[in-house]
Chains A and B, each alone.
Chain A
Amino acid sequence: MNSIHISSNSTVFHSLTHHRWLSSPYKLYPQVIKINGRKPLTTSCLNIDVKAPDSSRKVTAQNSKGVMELEGKVMVGTYGREPVVLVSGKGCKLYDVEGREYLDMTSGIAVNALGHCDPDWVKAVVDQAHVLTHVSNVYYSVPQVELAKHLVDCSFADRVFFTNSGTEANEAAIKFARKFQRHSNPDVKDPATEFISFTNSFHGRTMGALALTSKEQYRSPFEPVMPGVTFVEYGNIKATQESIRHGKTAAVFVEPIQGEGGIHSATKEFLEFLRTACDDAGALLVFDEVQCGLGRTGYLWAHEAYGIFPDIMTLAKPLAGGLPIGATLVTERVASSINYGDHGSTFAGGSLVCNAALTVLEKISKPEFLASVSKKGLYFKEILQQKLGGNSHVKEIRGLGLIIGIELDVPASPLIYACRNSGLLVLTAGKGNVVRLVPPLTVTEQELRLAADILQNAMPVLDENNSE
């Protein structure tokens, strides 16, 4: 059954594939070969000539350079990655192929809240992997229901919808909001379908969440995306007031603390205004806490710091300790407009992922844990202020709990680079001039001191090269 058919009027695709399976298992640098003067088209599949990949042969783990080169050959070039190949981690330490150690102030972009290889988390994963991983949502399973119950018990929400990522959680919120509007206004010919989102926002990369994401470069190559989104300046009450319209606006999406956008926190006044404006307009208020939720701010939910409650809250990143998960938490009022078949996912709510998440949630939601995040956050901000605040490039140090941004008046990349060379991993945000610090929530004060020291010692690099 597995034969190659090379049909008579078209031949092999971009020679690299042809050459690849005839000569070596590795992809050669692409060359286009024309055969019979025609553009190559492969009509055969390659599998019979390729030996079943040998799993015991980890050819790429020999050195960092080899891995980076291979990545450059076999992955679509979407990521401008830092030149570090990470292979293992423990707590807040990460190690590359050569065994170099790094202090992790990125937690995989605010995902590894419990650090790497937390023993309870590992146990939850190992235990569940031996029991049951996935059955789909055609059936009931226990960890999913347990996790939903815990989330409902410790939040404003009445019900949960699970997904596999933050972007999927926001897509669910989009769908729930539109369905809610249709359901609550069944006689209205054109129910409210529009959304308001804000400048410097980030909600995801799939066509719905992407439409809510303000950065134009992220959207314009893929137009037309989902219609109906208006962008308003984050924090601008007057402009928002003019844009929220009864009968038009289905929901307002806002991050209580904008992460990718530059670590900008909403004011209480702004969120209070949004709550009232949504109530008046019959629109839903959606808080995207994918990055700032789940203990990151020292509160379990960032919105607790403001005393304002949404109709929908989206979560993801740290929820399952590094495994793909998302969750859309809703009030009963929103949930009651959703029927069987309206939305779904094959993988979401799987037993293994949810069991991992139960451990994470259980740990993070402990009062002492949250209190320690608060305390460490304050401490970190203080020492950063002390050590870096005097530097002329530092415009502002802001944030809450363990999501901290250091705004510079120049691009942060030289600083990131210098820190990495000194064994510290940090991120950027905003327009590339904000250093974003989102360490594991289990980071120690000693590690925070070390991080601040490394940052301080690396600051001179910003003076060496100021031009773009």
Chain B
Amino acid sequence: MGSLQHLLNRPISVPFSPNLKHRRSFFAHSCLNLDVHATDSVKPKTHLKSGEVMEMEGKVLVGTYARNPVVISSGKGCKLYDPEGREYLDCTSGIAVNALGHGDTDWVKAVVEQANLLTHVSNVFYSVPQVELARRLVACSFADRVFFSNSGTEANEAAIKFARKYQRFTNPDEKQQATEFISFSNSFHGRTMGALALTSKENYRFPFEPVMPGVNFLEYGDVQAATELIKSGRIAAVFVEPIQGEGGIYSATKEFLQSLRSACDDAGSLLVFDEVQCGLGRTGYLWAHEAYDVVPDIMTLAKPLAGGLPIGASLVSEKVAAAIKYGDHGSTFAGGPLVCNAAIAVLDKISKPDFLASVSKKGEYFKELIMHKLGGNPHVREVRGFGLIIGIELDVSASPLVDACRDSGLLILTAGKGNVVRLVPPLIISEQELERAAEIMLECLPALDKTN
């Protein structure tokens, strides 16, 4: 009753048809809390059928996602289930997030324990899991310090800010400080205005111009162009994914990354490796850059770090950290005890040498299987990637294959221009499951011929 009494002389209306456009000019929308029955809405309505869920989504969510027509309601290991109980083999891991699969026992334990202790206090105060997680990340990487965030895009935004501050800090007297960035074709760094400015796909940026200024796009792998531009002295940092995920599963060459490293050193620019997708064991190395013997000044992480909970991290060297002061950057949620405790469970597992070795082994096996079973098909141009990030480039759109696989109980993703099948299963996937995945894909290949 309280809230209604305070509304000022406005007619109250009960909602409303979504078709009325200028509704707000005519009605005051009262909160419906009076009409909501408490007990019904506490539990998620698990009795909702797939069709109902999809319909409801179409009515109440902003239409940003063209989703696959599957409603996922539960999961265990590498298996996912819809409300009707149909089972799917998961080779997407929620876009390379569920590295330990679904419902990992240790992860669940870490979440349950911490949820019963302390979830969030903000960064006004100290808390333990955050510091523990940072210690571990520092201990097993090139980095000296960590800044936590809530997502990959936020981790890249922090990297952008740290790079610009670093340049201003190290060259305080210079009239023209390096504030620009280099990013590459087929890159993906995020959707917020800074990270978006670094993301090459024009359709992602154009409707929202002007984004953050100062980004130069060069061709991924073009050593000469990159070296020349870095020499100009205008570049605060170079952002590069050692393996481009969204862009199509393209791996950098050692020469490319080494040339970026040298050029950055000579010019005083920073080298930022975006390992949001390819980091944390995905390649069979803990960090993708280990495969190249090149070490960055900043590395951004997210996706698998907290096993499905929102998290990001920007790992930096001491020289970068030294430029950052209290108040320069921040986040209310980031580094929270619950999310960090979950991340500790994930990091502890993934960083074990046997775990990483098994990812390598399974990755090689999977690639072999795929080459063997699919390599002969005329639509298959290339099978690439390493560890458990694999791309199958086709000469046609991959969607019919994705659809057919889904109908056969296998979930896979696409990448690049839609003609690359992206396979990023949970890192705990078994060889048997990989065999099954390869088998299903083989059986479904004919779907590519139907529409052609």
Contacts and interface: CB of A to CB of B under 8 A. Distances in A.
Contacts of B287: 45, 47
B194 interface: yes
Nearest to A311: B24
Interface string B90-125: 001011011000110000100110011111111111
A188 interface: no
A79 B302 CA distance: 21
Given A84-B125, A179-B207, A207-B193, A168 B33 contact: no
B44 A146 contact: yes
Given A117-B117, A140-B54, A370-B2, A322 B327 contact: no
Given A222-B165, A333-B21, A166 B57 contact: no
A109 B139 CA distance: 31
Contact of B154 (A148, A152, A167): A167
Contact of A108 (B120, B142, B339): B120
A425 B125 CA distance: 10
Nearest to A141: B72
Contact of A78 (B66, B119, B294, B329): B329
B165 A362 contact: no
B97 A346 contact: yes
A344 B333 contact: no
B318 interface: yes
Interface stretch (B349-357, B377-385, B392-400, B436-444): B349-357
Nearest 3 A/B pairs, CB to CB:
A207-B194, A208-B193, A322-B120
16 contacts: A43-B295, A52-B352, A74-B131, A74-B144, A78-B328, A126-B115, A130-B108, A132-B102, A145-B61, A154-B36, A307-B9, A307-B28, A338-B64, A345-B153, A347-B308, A347-B310
Given A5-B293, A138-B68, A367-B1, A78 B327 contact: yes
Interface string A355-368: 10011001001110
Interface string A311-342: 10000110001111100101111010011111
A324 B146 contact: no
A157 to B, nearest CB: 9
A135 B75 contact: yes
Contacts of B324: 76-78
Given A135-B75, A153-B15, A353-B310, A46 B92 contact: no
Given A27-B144, A164-B150, A346 B56 contact: no
A125 B119 CA distance: 11
A324 B211 contact: no
A94 B121 contact: yes
B152 A30 contact: no
Nearest to A340: B66
A342 B146 contact: no
B21 A332 contact: yes
B238 interface: no
Interface in B339-367: 339, 344-345, 347-348, 351-353, 356-357, 360
A298 B18 CA distance: 28
Contacts of A331: 23-24
A341 B142 contact: no
A178 interface: yes
Given A111-B122, A299-B3, 13 more contacts: A39-B265, A42-B295, A46-B140, A60-B135, A74-B131, A81-B125, A111-B120, A135-B92, A138-B95, A139-B70, A165-B331, A207-B192, A226-B194
B75 A53 contact: no
Contacts of B294: 43
Given A1-B357, A86-B127, A142-B71, A205 B157 contact: yes
A300 B118 contact: no
Contacts of A125: 111-112, 115
Contacts of A206: 153-154, 157, 192-195
Interface string A63-104: 010011011011111111111111111000010010000000
B352 A122 contact: no
B282 interface: no
B10 interface: yes
Interface in B32-47: 32-34, 36, 38, 41-42, 44-46
B259 interface: no
Contact of A122 (B102, B116, B285): B116
B225 interface: no
B319 interface: yes
A92 B378 CA distance: 65
Given A164-B154, A340-B65, A324 B309 contact: yes
Nearest to B46: A142
A281 interface: no
A175 interface: yes
A136 B165 contact: no
A249 interface: no
B70 A136 contact: no
Nearest to A54: B348
Contact of B119 (A76, A142, A323): A323
A109 B122 contact: yes
A41 interface: yes
Given A47-B290, A82-B125, A60 B117 contact: no
* Interface range for B: 35 or more
A195 to B, nearest CB: 11
A176 to B, nearest CB: 8
Contacts of A447: none
Nearest to B90: A135
B413 interface: yes
A104 to B, nearest CB: 8
Interface in B269-305: 284-287, 289-290, 293-295, 302-303
Nearest to B406: A139
Contact of B61 (A67, A134, A160, A166): A160
A217 B328 CA distance: 8
A149 to B, nearest CB: 5
B44 A41 contact: no
B316 A116 contact: no
A299 B7 CA distance: 10
B239 interface: no
A367 B33 contact: yes
Contacts of B56: 145, 149
B234 interface: no
B203 interface: yes
A226 B210 contact: yes
Given A167-B154, A317-B332, A300 B210 contact: no
Contact of A136 (B41, B54, B64, B94): B94
B336 A322 contact: yes
Nearest to A152: B60
Interface in A164-216: 164-168, 171, 174-176, 178-179, 182, 193, 205-209, 211
A131 B46 CA distance: 11
B147 interface: yes
Contacts of B33: 154, 300, 365-367, 370
B231 interface: no
Contacts of A168: 150-151, 153-154, 192
B41 to A, nearest CB: 5
Given A143-B44, A345-B151, A122 B115 contact: yes
A159 B192 contact: no
Interface stretch (A14-22, A234-242, A386-394, A406-414): A14-22
Nearest to A66: B131
Given A42-B142, A135-B75, A74 B192 contact: no
A79 B261 CA distance: 30
Contacts of B325: 77-78
A456 interface: no
Nearest to A45: B290
A2 B83 CA distance: 43
B10 A307 contact: yes
Contacts of A13: 142, 295, 317
A224 interface: yes
Contacts of B117: 87-89, 117
Contacts of A129: 103, 108, 111-112
